[in-house]
Amino acid sequence: DTGVSQDPRHKITKRGQNVTFRCDPISEHNRLYWYRQTLGQGPEFLTYFQNEAQLEKSRLLSDRFSAERPKGSFSTLEIQRTEQGDSAMYLCASVTDPLNTGELFFGEGSRLTVL
Amino acid sequence: GENVEQHPSTLSVQEGDSAVIKCTYSDSASNYFPWYKQELGKRPQLIIDIRSNVGEKKDQRIAVTLNKTAKHFSLHITETQPEDSAVYFCAASLSGGYQKVTFGTGTKLQVIP
């Protein structure tokens, strides 16, 4: 499968625990995005990377959220001290060359449930 | 930052009828406007996009129109089919999609056979 892959697909955790999600983009894609989607809403921008550089982070994102893309390939999104309001689908997407085509290729998402 | 509003939130049409979804954006510098379709339990997928140097774009049964002056754009689906049932998201971006893409809240389209 040469698409965007995310792991785990589902995560159930207790409030206060830390969770980490991983995203493997399409191999030749140098730009990677993280979005959050709650039921009945559109994807909400969290952050994005150009290779290993984090170019923008949403002002709505609390300090409990951190993302990395250490070698410009896969990325991780960590949520510390989870809260019930963090329950959502976390979507990763990659883009090959936004100047030519802005199409975001999304992964299947990682669904987080905080009890 | 950019804000994208989308209407209606739900839309039911009879098979064969047309469906229209409308969006407005706030940042006049936005110049790339994609539309994504998300079927139940699946990932969003691009169905059509338009750049600000074009007023209309068509691909078979779907078309998008853009009014830069009014800062609104619309998706038109003709001859709707049951497989068109899904949630549709409009979005806007600066620099032709080179920066973050801001999504609308979605329209749930139901095509009744």
Structure confidence by residue, pLDDT tens digits, B53-111? 888 999 999 999 999 999 999 999 999 999 999 999 999 998 766 678 999 999 999 99
Tell if the CB–CB gap between A42 and B103 is shorter than 8 Å. yes
Mean pLDDT of B6-34: 96
Residues 37-56 of B with CB under 8 A from A: 42-46, 49
Nearest to B98 among A43, A45, A99 (CB): A99
pLDDT computed for residue A24 by the predictor = 96
Distance from CA of A28 to the nearest CA of B (A): 16
Residue, of A29 and A111, whose pLDDT is higher? A111
Cβ count near A2 (within 10 Å): 8
Q: Which of A42, A56, A91 sits opposite B100 (nearest CB)?
A: A56
Mutation pick from B100, B107, B108 vs chain A, by most beta carbons of A within 10 Å, is B100
Kindly determine whether residue B105 and residue A40, on different chains, have CB atoms separated by under 8 Å. yes
Residue A15: pLDDT over 80? yes
So what's the pLDDT on residue A105?
A: 93
Q: Could you tell me the end-to-end alpha-carbon distance of chain B, in angstroms, rounded to an integer?
A: 41
Measured between beta carbons, the chain B residues lying within 8 angstroms of A61 are none
DSSP chain A: --S-EEE-SEEEE-TT--EEEEEE--TT--EEEEEEE-TTS--EEEEEEETTEEEEE-TT--TTEEEE-TTSS-EEEEE-S--GGG-EEEEEEEES-TTT----EE---EEEEE-
Question: Which residue has tokens 């074009």?
Answer: B54
How far does the CA of residue B74 sit from the closest CA of chain A (Å)? 17
- Residue contact B45–A91, C-beta within 8 A: no
- Number of A/B CB contacts below 8 angstroms equals 62
